[in-house]
Chains A and B, each alone.
Chain A
Amino acid sequence: MTTQVNDNRFDEAALQEQFDATIEAKDRIEPRDWMPEAYRKTLIRQVAQHAHSEIIGMQPEGNWISRAPSLRRKAILLAKVQDEAGHGLYLYSAAETLGVTRNELTEKLVAGKQKYSSIFNYPTLSYTDVGTIGWLVDGAAICNQVPLCRTSFGPYGRAMIRICKEESFHQRQGYELLMTMMRGTEAQREMVQESVNRFWWPALMMFGPPDDNSPNTEQSMAWGIKTHTNDELRQKFVDMSVPQAEALGVTFPDENLKWNEERGHYDFSTPNWDEFWAVVKGDGPCNEQRLNHRKRAWDEGAWVREAALAFAENQTAEAAATPTAADATPAAGVDTTTPEETAK
């Protein structure tokens, strides 16, 4: 397929023109279309970072699976953490259509060469945090991800559509958990407020640096990868969250948080961007722990990946060694009750 392109010797300017026209028409770029190298690189970086965030994001909550307060909560948390794994896989799958392999991306992550959302570098100190993460962290993620369903790169947009459908469960289970605690004892209500106090600012930082300090935003918007700026999304999240906090009976730790009639939005303080950059650069409370855990899982799982491949190779070799038998009867260990449509 690559040679075909070479034979035709398309003029790069003509390809660029076609690409620009597709973006201009708000149509989607698909994996085998020509695209500028910088567009491909930007997408690989963004989709990989997004995928890594889902995978690393399993850790803060995964810590609590074995200590869930009831079987109901445990089943919910297991399903949620499993979803995060699934979201990571949808996104790695989208990234791979850009010409990178999943192994490459994982190796870059564990080597610290690619980043993930800095929110996951904060610890989960009590079970309450499972609720707060669902409400605020997944809530912020939804705010970020809903516009990405219309991003210009087809596979990324399709992955986001699947993810957004599932995130709604994540946010609602978290909010319901917090509501349950708010109906409990005074001590439980204090736990909710304390947890919200810790997560509010990191959740606001999830939208990334302010617009005047976000060098990639302009180009990403011109390419239709992003459709809203970081500050727009952050404002939207604040506006959505305040009435939810009121309904829950908690407050956010910001004395400047108040409705601005003129703007039609809530005013709020500037997040501590020094803290944000410190966490991004590796100095958050859990950066090292998260990365070490991921690296250990990757290294210790190597023998499983290799064994599965060796088994598959043996099966292929066996089938090749006995061609007539393989034609007449299915290979040992293969489930023969395949439905009529599992076209073999």
Chain B
Amino acid sequence: MTETNPGSTSAKDGSAVGSTRGEWPLYEVFVRGKRGLNHVHVGSLHAADDQMAVHHARDVYTRRNEGVSIWVVRASDITASSPDEKDPMFAPSGDKVYRHPTFYDIPADVPHM
């Protein structure tokens, strides 16, 4: 989930490199903490291109062995669900309690359930 604010000019101009007062485009950074874990969003940074973004991400976000792998992506290339984190988009999953294991009553003495 990007944290880029839609109102941020740096996010908007990401596709047109250098169009707003020469600011490097914004990248979002994802780090895999160790083998077996997902990449997790850790923050953002500015870089002139993809390779520089990876190098900067190493220096800014992994100075103490915080990661074994880094993804960077232009903030402007991220499509997000909606401006509101509490959007009704997620409402349909709210009333489907039968999707959870605790919905089903099983006698306590049945083993391994």
Q: Which residues from chain A sit less than 8 Å from chain B, CB to CB?
A: 1-2, 4-5, 18, 30-34, 79, 82-83, 86, 89-90, 93-94, 96-103, 154-155, 158-159, 162, 166, 305-306, 308-313, 315-316, 334-335, 339, 341-343
Contacts and interface: CB of A to CB of B under 8 A. Distances in A.
Interface of B: 3-10, 17-18, 20-24, 26, 32, 39, 43-46, 48-49, 51-52, 54, 59-60, 63-64, 69-71, 80, 82-86
Contacts of A341: 32, 39, 69, 71
A97 B5 contact: yes
A197 B67 CA distance: 41
A32 B1 CA distance: 11
Given A31-B3, A32-B5, A309-B17, 17 more contacts: A1-B80, A2-B6, A2-B83, A32-B6, A89-B45, A96-B10, A99-B8, A101-B20, A102-B10, A155-B43, A158-B43, A159-B43, A308-B52, A309-B22, A316-B17, A335-B51, A341-B32
Given A33-B84, A96-B44, A312-B49, A1 B6 contact: yes
Given A5-B83, A86-B60, A309-B48, A98 B17 contact: no
A85 to B, nearest CB: 8
B24 A4 contact: no
> Which 6 interchain pairs have the tightest Cβ spacing?
A308-B48, A312-B49, A99-B7, A312-B48, A1-B6, A309-B18
19 contacts: A1-B6, A79-B63, A83-B63, A86-B59, A90-B43, A93-B43, A96-B5, A96-B8, A96-B10, A103-B21, A154-B3, A155-B3, A155-B43, A305-B48, A312-B17, A315-B49, A316-B17, A339-B69, A342-B69
B51 A89 contact: no
B23 A101 contact: yes
A31 B69 CA distance: 26
A159 B42 CA distance: 9
B8 to A, nearest CB: 5
B84 A34 contact: yes
Contacts, number: 111
A101 B85 contact: no
A5 B6 CA distance: 11
Contacts of B7: 2, 99
Main secondary structure of the interface of A (DSSP, over half): helix
Nearest to B32: A341
Contacts of A82: 63
Given A33-B85, A341-B69, A305 B8 contact: no
Contact of B24 (A86, A89, A309, A334): A309
Given A4-B82, A96-B8, A334 B23 contact: no
Nearest to A308: B48
A4 B83 contact: yes
A305 to B, nearest CB: 6
A155 B7 CA distance: 16
Contacts of B17: 309, 312-313, 316
User: Which of A89, A93, A100, A155: most chain B CB closer than 10 A?
Assistant: A93
A2 B12 CA distance: 12
B60 A89 contact: yes
B62 to A, nearest CB: 10
A323 to B, nearest CB: 18
B51 A343 contact: no
Nearest to B73: A343
- The interface centre, meaning the residue of B10, B71, B84 with most chain A CB atoms within 10 A of its CB, is B84
Given A93-B43, A316-B17, A311 B8 contact: no
A101 B10 contact: yes
Contacts of A90: 43, 60
Contacts of B10: 96, 101-102
B18 A97 contact: no
Contacts of A339: 69
Nearest to B56: A89
A330 to B, nearest CB: 11
A155 to B, nearest CB: 6
